Homo-oligomer: A and B are copies of this chain.
Amino acid sequence: MTPSEQKEQTERTLRADARRNRERVFEAARELFARDGEGVQMEEIASHAGVGIGTVYRHFPTKGALLTEMVRTRFQRFTEIALAAEQIEDPWEAVATLLTESSVAVEGDAGFQMAMMGVEDLEWEGIEQEKAAFAAPAERIIERAVEAGAVRSDMSVDDIPMLMCGITSTMYFAPGGAEWRRHLDLVLAGLRPG
């Protein structure tokens, strides 16, 4: 049974009140992680969700599992962005939009920023599927740009998380500011054919 099958099964079997609680816990965690980073306390998440601390642990075995869930939903957003960027006609614009929109998506979420930089060693195992779903359109965007001579010929899809991680580190270091746009500009310039 794959993790996602297991999860679906769980969701189906869950009693209505339990499902509501699970959802509330996750929403509370998402909000608090976004606002305050990975440092929020489990007790705070519980009270924000209106449940006891034990209920948080019933649905998510560790704090890390809660983080992994949060990262999973963020990754789905990346995939949406990639699919939309693929529709852009100009090959370079597609690449630039992919990176810019992805950065914007990360901008307001301190917890996700920390996760992207690998601060805690996050459980990436539950996220393989989402990574693959993102990689497929991203790969097509890059291949098209390479063939059109719009980016350096050695650009690969593996450059994206690497560069995103760098831009994210600027967001995290200078929160609320626009310094990361400067970083993005430099990185985009570095991707042009040389």
Give A contacts to B, CB under 8 Å.
Answer: 114, 117-119, 152, 159, 162-163, 165-170, 172-173, 179, 182-183, 185-192, 194
Contacts and interface: CB of A to CB of B under 8 A. Distances in A.
Contacts of A159: 182, 186
A189 B182 contact: no
23 contacts: A117-B117, A117-B119, A117-B172, A118-B169, A118-B173, A152-B189, A159-B182, A159-B186, A162-B173, A163-B166, A165-B166, A165-B173, A166-B170, A166-B183, A186-B187, A186-B191, A187-B190, A188-B190, A189-B189, A189-B192, A189-B194, A190-B190, A190-B191
Q: How often does this chain occur in the complex, in copies?
A: 2
Contact of A186 (B163, B169, B172, B179): B163
B179 A170 contact: no
Contacts of A168: 169
Contacts of A187: 166, 186-187, 190
Nearest to A175: B118
